Structure 1
Amino acid sequence: MDLRELVDLRVRDGEQAAPGGAPAVVAGVSVGGERSTAVRGAALAPDSCFRIASLTKAFTSTALVRRMRENGVALDTPVIELLGDLAPDWRADTGLTVEQILGQVSGLRECVEASDAAALGEGPEALHEAARLVVRGGNERAPGTRWSYYNGNYFLVGAVLAALGGASYETVLRRDLLGPWNLSRTGFDAPRDPVAGRDGGRELPSRDYPRPRRPSGGLWSCVPDLLALGEGLLADRELLDRVRRPRTAPDDPMAYGLGWALGPSGQMYLNGRLPGYRTAMLLVPDKDLVSVALAAEQTALPLLARLLSDVQYPFTGDDLGAAVDAFAA
């Protein structure tokens, strides 16, 4: 069954859970660099831009790991050494490392809400001040002892990327990753032709994503750019090995690397959720497989998860539908 048939099959299945009708979906697969795409929905194209929510973390993580390698900075460097101006407000464990915040094993107290970050405004210091709030909250447990998904970790990640790159987070991401990897349809500003998000078929008004939260979920992107991100990771084996090495313990809720959940056969996956949008991405590095699915319907995650599980199943024999759907983005 080819990708278009799989998309049609899963969208038909998903229609039962979508009271507003079939969701708009764009999906893509790359195997050894050979791509195929499928579109389901009026007025959509293979490169239509969606909000990708927490798939943004894969861009942020990739950019920071590359920047640290370029600067000769080890992943086990304590964060406080790279954000020294936050020291007067630092209540977190001073041994907290960059790979622990990237790997969601920081043990930080999850006390900074989305509204707290948004209240910091849109100025050039907003992200840095969000990072200050995070470390001011201190640790709930020792770093490295337990996996827990917390967007505050990625406020810190974005601040570290900005510090190492000597410019704003957005500028460094564009200069270090989006530009060199030709990800021309990916960015924080709404594109000229955005796909509108929907809830049960009802179109939702477009809202800006708060600047302090951008490293955790603020990007717009499209299937070709997401496939290119995955292909870029697979082509740089040293980078890939750094990103996909588990940072979690055997008894953690899931196996997790740097920005990616890890499957039983070495799969890397994540999903994203914002009002009106659902997204999912899955890689099988040892089979040179990259897959992604984007939907403009917030009830669509189960069908996207099922679709990507179907795509990778012939390569691994694993059923990952429930895992991709349940991932805590």
Structure 2
Amino acid sequence: MTNTTLKITEARDAAGQDRPELQKAIEEIVDSGFTGVHLRVHDERGQWVGSAGVGKLGESAAPPVDGRIRIGSNTKTFTATLVLQLVAEGRIGLDDPVADHLPEFGLDRRITVRMLLQHTSGVFNFTGEYYDDGTVAPGIPWQGREWVDNRFKTYRPEELVRLALSKPARFEPGTDWSYSNTNYVLARLLIEKATGRSLAEEMQRLILGPLGLSGTLAPDTREEIPEPHAHAYYRYEDAGREKTVDVTRQNPSWISSGGDMISTTQDLHTFISALLGGKLLPPPLLAEMCTPHPKFGYGLGLFVQDTDCGGTVITHNGGIAGHAALMYSSPDGSRTLTASLNYVDDAAMSLAEPFQKATQRLVKEVFCGGQAGQTGPAGPVDGAAEPTRPAG
């Protein structure tokens, strides 16, 4: 590690808190192959913020403090919270058949709103299905040169849903669990049908506005990320030659509400802390949200994971083509870890394993006091198909 390849900035809380173990952890993440990392921790010792690596290839500046980042599947936690707020308002029933609200799709009437939020509907994942025997059923293009060349294409959410429904269901509704971005595009359409307003408008009314999340937005088809931000990259082969392109600008409608939102580490901290602190949902609905499915520990829009040091963390991670975000919290929202990562993505998902190790290392430091134990699954690197596969 040299000054030409790594620039570090640290911000300490008012008490001058120094956390060398956290700084070391994010430096090691950069050493494992990530371009840059920005980490924010809130706990009983106060606030700690640090960065390592660079925000843009070929430059020396570290990732910006509270720069905006595409947060991938963290979007699902925002979307699930919004659906549950509409449940609290009486606009939607958690166990309503989705077909009653969205009759135009001819959905299996056994699929309920709850099943969408918990990934138990069985509906095909429009970014592709990855089966236990190693076979893959492709969906829309989201990687390789084909995606790079078409990354400004607009998809409408209805188009993504209809593509998914043209494929065989993965299982009978309610009989199993499988991560599917289609569930959350249906959730978006459900929100819009129930309210008569766009998801972005409802997100502003019920979450972003009340919490003052000025760095967070649901971009729909907008290609730009507001400044400041780190850059995202994608690497692919073209005629036998390797190319790396800046994909910070893209039209995220290909993933829609499965993973299109933009935020900051500060806003992610504020959101997850407020959610688990009871500021966004009535206690019974928050309890429903945090009740995990036995197969993968997924509640309604979030993972509930046991740590090997005897605790529990509430989390959702995600990423999208060179940007990723981490969001972890204690069950009461009093201790949080949020982070943004920028990197060079590729079809082989070369950084999937380093990503898992990095998140485990950070969770160990923040929630286990640096003890040897690690958490279970770290959640999606790119959020696409399952917790260990990409896109969203």
- When normalised by structure 1's length, the TM-score is 0.83
- Greater Cα offset, 72-81 or 41-50: 41-50
In 2, are the aligned partners of 1:120 and 1:129 still within 8 Å (CA)?
A: no
1:193 aligns with 2:228: yes
Between the aligned partners of 2:371 and 2:95, the Cα distance in structure 1 is 32
**Secondary structure of the corresponding residue to residue 99 of structure 2:** helix
Distance of 2:164 and 2:234 partners within structure 1? 32
Q: For the residues of structure 1 that align with 2:172 and 2:369, how far apart are their CA atoms?
A: 40
SS at match of 1:211: helix
| Cα pair 1:24 1:295 within 8 Å, conserved | yes
Give yes or no for contact 1:26–1:39 (8 Å, CA) kept in 2.
yes
Please give the secondary structure, in 2, of the residue aligned with 1:60.
Answer: helix
CA displacement, residues 77-122 of structure 1 (integer Å, 9 cap, x when unaligned): 1111111233xxx1x4211011111101111234562349x99964
Q: 2:331 maps to what in 1? A: 285
* Counterpart position of 1:114: 140
Q: Confirm or deny that 1:49 pairs with 2:68.
A: yes
**2:20 maps to 1:11:** no
Aligned residue number for residue 308 of structure 1: 363
Q: Distance in 1 between matches of 2:257 and 2:245?
A: 26
Over 3 Å counting, the alpha-carbon distance change for 1:158 and 1:3 in structure 2 is farther
2:269 to 203, 206, 227: 227
Asked if structure 1 preserves the Cα contact closer than 8 Å seen for 2:69 and 2:324, the reply is no
> Are 1:159 and 2:159 counterparts?
no
What amino acid does structure 2 have at the position aligned with 1:68? Answer: V
CA distance in 1, matches of 2:256, 2:126: 18
CA distance in 2, matches of 1:259, 1:209: 24
Give the letter aligned to residue 30 of structure 1.
H
Contact persistence 2:51–2:62 (CA under 8 A) = no
Separation in 2, partners of 1:285, 1:199: 35
- Of structures 1 and 2, the larger Rg is shown by 2
Q: Secondary structure at the match of 2:338?
A: strand
1:261 aligns with 2:303: yes
Shift of 1:280: 1.6
Task: Report deviation, 1:258.
Answer: 1.0
Q: Which amino acid aligns with 1:130?
A: L
Is contact 2:120–2:173 with CA below 8 Å preserved after alignment? yes
Tell whether the 8 Å contact from 2:304 to 2:315 is kept in structure 1 after alignment: yes
- Whether the 8 Å contact between 1:67 and 1:176 is mirrored in structure 2 is no
Stretches of structure 1 lacking an aligned partner (at least 5 in a row):
none
Counterpart Cα distance in 1 of 2:152 and 2:249 = 17
- Give the counterpart letter for 1:306 in structure 2: R
Take 2:371 and 2:193, find their aligned partners in 1: how far apart are those partners?
Answer: 40
Corresponding letter in the other structure for 1:165: T
Aligned to 2:204: 174
CA deviation string 1:245-279 (max 9, x = no partner): 12x24xx2x11101112212432222212222232
1:243 paired with 2:289, answer: yes
Question: Does residue 216 of the first structure (1) align with residue 223 of the second (2)?
Answer: no
User: Is 1:105 aligned to 2:127, yes or no?
Assistant: no
| Cα distance between partner residues in 1 of 2:43 and 2:76 | 23
Most deviating of 190-199 and 158-167? 190-199
- Counterpart Cα distance in 2 of 1:293 and 1:314: 18
1:271 pairs with one of 292, 317, 320 = 317
Normalised by the length of structure 2, the TM-score is 0.71
State the AA in 2 paired with 1:233: L
Q: Would you say 1:69 and 2:96 are equivalent positions?
A: no
The aligned amino acid for 2:27 is: R
Residue 25 of structure 1 is matched in structure 2 by 37
Equivalent residue number for residue 37 of structure 1: 49
| Structure with greater contact order relative to length (CA < 8 Å, sep ≥ 6) | 1
**Cα gap change, 1:240 to 1:48, in 2 (>3 Å):** same
> 1:232/1:120 Cα in 2 relative to 1: closer, same or farther (>3 Å)?
same
Q: One-letter code of the match for 2:189?
A: A
Q: Is the 8 A contact 2:26 2:39 kept in 1?
A: no
Report the counterpart of residue 110 of structure 2 in structure 1: 95
| Alignment of structure 1 residues 200-211 onto 2, 5 Å | 204-211=246-253
Give the letter for the 1:76 counterpart: D
1:131–1:155 Cα contact (<8 Å) kept: yes
Corresponding letter in the other structure for 2:265 = V
Which residue type is aligned with residue 267 of structure 1? Answer: V
Q: Distance in 1 between matches of 2:270 and 2:254?
A: 26
Shift of 1:157: 1.2
Q: Which moved more, 1:94-103 or 1:2-11?
A: 2-11
Equivalent AA in structure 1 for residue 123 of structure 2 = L
2:100 alignment partner in structure 1: 81
Cα 1:7–1:25, aligned 2, differ >3 Å: closer, same or farther? farther
Partner of 1:320 in structure 2?
375
- Partners in 2 of 1:120 and 1:13 — Cα distance? 34
Q: Following TM superposition, by how much is the alpha carbon of 1:33 offset from its aligned partner in structure 2, in angstroms?
A: 11
Secondary structure of 2:210's aligned partner: coil
Q: Is the 8 A contact 1:227 1:290 kept in 2?
A: yes
**Residue type at the aligned position of 1:50:** I
Q: Which moved more, 1:34-43 or 1:143-152?
A: 34-43
Residue 73 (structure 1) shift = 2.7
State the AA in 1 paired with 2:48.
S
> AA paired with 1:308?
V
CA distance in 1, matches of 2:370, 2:23: 21
